[in-house]
Chain A
Amino acid sequence: MADASIEFKGSSFTLSVLHLKTLVLADIRNDLAKKVAQAPDFFYLVPIVVNIEKIASSVDYQAIKVLIEEFNFTFVGFTGAVSKEQRKLIRELGFSFVNTTKVETSQKIAIAEEALVKEAEKTAAIALSKLYTDKVHRGQIRSGQQVYAKDQNLVVIGSVSAGAEVIADGNIHVYGSLRGRAIAGAKGHHKAQIYCQKLEAELVSINGNYWLSESMEQHWSSPVYIHLNDNELTSSKLI
C-alpha cells in the first residue's frame, strides 16, 4: 500500500556554498564576520554547504561546523572533490556529504542554458515572424464551429455567430458581427488585439484576460477594437 501521508521526490535547489581556502579558523572567522556584517539579514539562517576542496586533508570538521553555526547559518554538509577515505570519515563523524562534480556540472549547466536560450530565441523568432501572417476565413463561422489560427492572426470575412469560437495566437479581425467567442493571443501574447465591425460577443479574451457580454455594454453593437492596457482589457471605438 502506498503511504498517503508522505511522498519522496527529488528537487533541485540553489544553495550557498562556502569555499574554504585555509584551515586557520581565526582567519575564517574574521572574513566571515566581515561578510556577514555587510548584510546580516541576508545571511540569517541561510542553508550553507562548505566546500573543502582547496584545503589540505586533515580538517577539523566539527570545528568548522560550529564556526559556521556561530554566524547563524544553517549547516547542511560538506562538498568538494575529495578522496574516498575523507568522505567516509565525514560520514562517520555524522555529517552529510553533498555530492557534486562541481566543475563539470556547472559547465554542463552553462552549456545547456546557452542552448536553451538559443532555442528559445529561435522559436520566438519563428513565432513572431508567423504572427505577421494571416489565416483568412471567408464566410460566416456558424454556431458550433471553431476556427484556430495557430501562430497567426485570424481574419474572418463574415460574421462569427453566437455559439461559434474563433481563436488566434495573434490578432483577430472580424469583418462582420462578432457574436460568438473570440480568443486572441491564445499562447500568451499581451499585445494581441481583437477588431470587429459589430461587437455582440459572448466572450472576448486576450492573453487570458476575458470579458463576458455584460462588460461590453459601453461599445455594444459598435465597431470596436479591444486590447490590453496594463493587463486590463480596454475597448475603443474604431470609427
Chain B
Amino acid sequence: MARVIVVTSGKGGVGKTTSSAAIGLGLALKGNKVVLIDFDIGLRNLDLIMGCERRVVYDFVNVINGEATLNQALIKDKRVSSLSILPASQTRDKDALNKENVGKVLEDLGKIYDFIVCDSPAGIEAGAMMALYYADEAIVTTNPEVSSVRDSDRILGMLASRSRRAELGLEPIKEHLLLTRYSPKRVEEGEMLSVEDVEDILSIPLLGVIPESQAVLKASNAGEPVILDTMSDAGKAYQDVVDRLLGETIDFRFLVAEKKGIFSRMFGG
C-alpha cells in the first residue's frame, strides 16, 4: 500500500511546495517509487520548483475530468526515474476537484507508487480539504512565528475531524511537525519561537527542522529541489527528514547558532 502524505500548513508561504519537492525527490533517491501531486489548482508552483514546467501537457484536472489518462499527465523526473509529478491546472480553480474522482486517481496511483506526496494549497477551504482528505500522514509545515503556529494548529484540528480517516473512524492521520525557516540566532535573540515553544503548543512529533538558508531560494529559482544541494544546511536537513520518514532515528541538527571560529571570521565563512 502506498503511503499518502499531505504537506500542509494552513498559512501560505511557509515552504509547503519547497518541502514537498525536496522530500519527494529525497524519497525517490532512496529507491522508492514516488509521485508528487500539486493540489494548488490555479497557481501551479510545484512544476516550477521541480524544474519541469515546460513539459506540462495535461494536468490533474484533465485526469479528473477524463480528458487525459494518468500516464499522459504524469511527468517523469529527468534526474530520478522513479519520481513522477502530477501538475496542477493553471486555468481552473480549486472547485474543479471532487472527492470521488480524486479518490479514484489516488487509488490508481497507489497501485504503482510507494509514496504519494500531496502538495496542499494554503488556507482551510475546499482545495486544502481535498488535499488532506485521503492522507495517511501529514507533514505540518510551520514557521517559528505565532500566526503560522496558530494556522498549523487549525489544520491539525481539520486533520482530526475532516479527513477520510476521521469520517470513517479509522486510525487517525499520523502527524509530523516540520519546522522551516528556522534561525537559531534569532531564537537566541528572542525574535523567533524556539523548537520547544512550537512543540509545546502543537504537541505533535517533530519530523525535522530546516534552517533558514539562501540555498532554498537559489534552488527554487533553478528548479532544483534543495535536497540536491548536499552542501547546504537546508539540503542536509531535508535529507534527515527523508531518513526519518523511512524509519531511521537521527539526531536533530542546526538547532543552535554556530559560533564562528577565528578562521571563518577572517575568511567570511
CA distance A117 to B156 in the complex (A): 48
Q: In this complex, what residue of B is CB-closest to A140?
A: B203
Interface residues of B in 156-189 (CB under 8 A from A): 156-158, 160-161
Question: B203 contacts A143, CB within 8 Å?
Answer: no
Q: In this complex, what residue of B is CB-closest to A159?
A: B203
B150 at the interface (CB under 8 A from A): yes
Question: A162 contacts B150, CB within 8 Å?
Answer: yes
Question: A163 contacts B203, CB within 8 Å?
Answer: no
Q: In this complex, what residue of B is CB-closest to A161?
A: B153
- When distances are taken between beta carbons in the complex, the residues of chain B under 8 Å from A161 are 150, 153, 157, 201
Question: A143 contacts B161, CB within 8 Å?
Answer: no
Chain B nearest CB, measured from A229 CB (Å): 32
B154 at the interface (CB under 8 A from A): yes
- Indicate which residue in A139, A142, A159 contacts B154 across the interface (CB closer than 8 Å): A142
Q: In this complex, what residue of B is CB-closest to A139?
A: B160
Question: A144 contacts B154, CB within 8 Å?
Answer: yes
Place the interface of chain B in its size category.
10 to 19
- When distances are taken between beta carbons in the complex, the residues of chain B under 8 Å from A158 are 203
CA distance A225 to B160 in the complex (A): 29
- When distances are taken between beta carbons in the complex, the residues of chain A under 8 Å from B161 are 145
Decide if the interface of chain B is mainly helix, strand, loop or mixed: helix
Q: What does the 1/0 interface line of A127-163 toward B look like (CB < 8 Å)?
A: 0000000000001111111000000000000110111
Q: Counting chain A CB atoms within 10 Å of each CB, which of B150, B153, B158 scores highest?
A: B153
- When distances are taken between beta carbons in the complex, the residues of chain A under 8 Å from B200 are 177
Q: Counting chain B CB atoms within 10 Å of each CB, which of A139, A140, A142, A163 scores highest?
A: A142
CA distance A208 to B160 in the complex (A): 31
Chain A nearest CB, measured from B82 CB (Å): 36
Place the interface of chain A in its size category.
10 to 19
- When distances are taken between beta carbons in the complex, the residues of chain A under 8 Å from B160 are 139, 142
Interface residues of B in 180-212 (CB under 8 A from A): 200-201, 203
Chain B nearest CB, measured from A147 CB (Å): 11
CA distance A112 to B124 in the complex (A): 53
CA distance A163 to B200 in the complex (A): 16
- When distances are taken between beta carbons in the complex, the residues of chain A under 8 Å from B201 are 161-162, 179
Interface residues of A in 149-207 (CB under 8 A from B): 158-159, 161-164, 177, 179
Interface residues of A in 48-83 (CB under 8 A from B): none
Question: B203 contacts A142, CB within 8 Å?
Answer: no
Chain B nearest CB, measured from A30 CB (Å): 79
CA distance A162 to B201 in the complex (A): 9
- When distances are taken between beta carbons in the complex, the residues of chain B under 8 Å from A159 are 203
- When distances are taken between beta carbons in the complex, the residues of chain B under 8 Å from A141 are 157
- When distances are taken between beta carbons in the complex, the residues of chain B under 8 Å from A143 are 150-151, 153-154, 157
- When distances are taken between beta carbons in the complex, the residues of chain B under 8 Å from A144 are 124, 154, 157-158
- When distances are taken between beta carbons in the complex, the residues of chain B under 8 Å from A179 are 201
- When distances are taken between beta carbons in the complex, the residues of chain B under 8 Å from A145 are 157, 161
Chain A nearest CB, measured from B266 CB (Å): 44
- When distances are taken between beta carbons in the complex, the residues of chain A under 8 Å from B156 are 140, 142
Chain A nearest CB, measured from B103 CB (Å): 25
Chain A nearest CB, measured from B67 CB (Å): 37
CA distance A183 to B21 in the complex (A): 44
CA distance A140 to B199 in the complex (A): 13
CA distance A57 to B9 in the complex (A): 89
- When distances are taken between beta carbons in the complex, the residues of chain B under 8 Å from A142 are 153-154, 156-157, 160
- When distances are taken between beta carbons in the complex, the residues of chain A under 8 Å from B124 are 144
CA distance A12 to B158 in the complex (A): 52
Q: What does the 1/0 interface line of B205-228 toward A look like (CB < 8 Å)?
A: 000000000000000000000000
Residue numbers of A with Cβ under 8 A of B are: 139-145, 158-159, 161-164, 177, 179
Q: For the A-B complex with A142-B160, A144-B124 known, give 13 more contacts whose Cβ atoms are closer than 8 Å.
A: A142-B156, A142-B157, A143-B151, A143-B157, A144-B158, A158-B203, A161-B150, A161-B153, A161-B201, A162-B153, A162-B201, A177-B200, A179-B201
Show 10 A/B contacts (Cβ-Cβ < 8 Å), sorted by A.
Answer: A143-B150, A143-B151, A143-B153, A143-B157, A145-B157, A161-B157, A163-B150, A164-B157, A177-B200, A179-B201
Closest 8 CB pairs of A and B: A142-B157, A143-B153, A143-B154, A144-B154, A161-B153, A145-B157, A142-B153, A142-B156
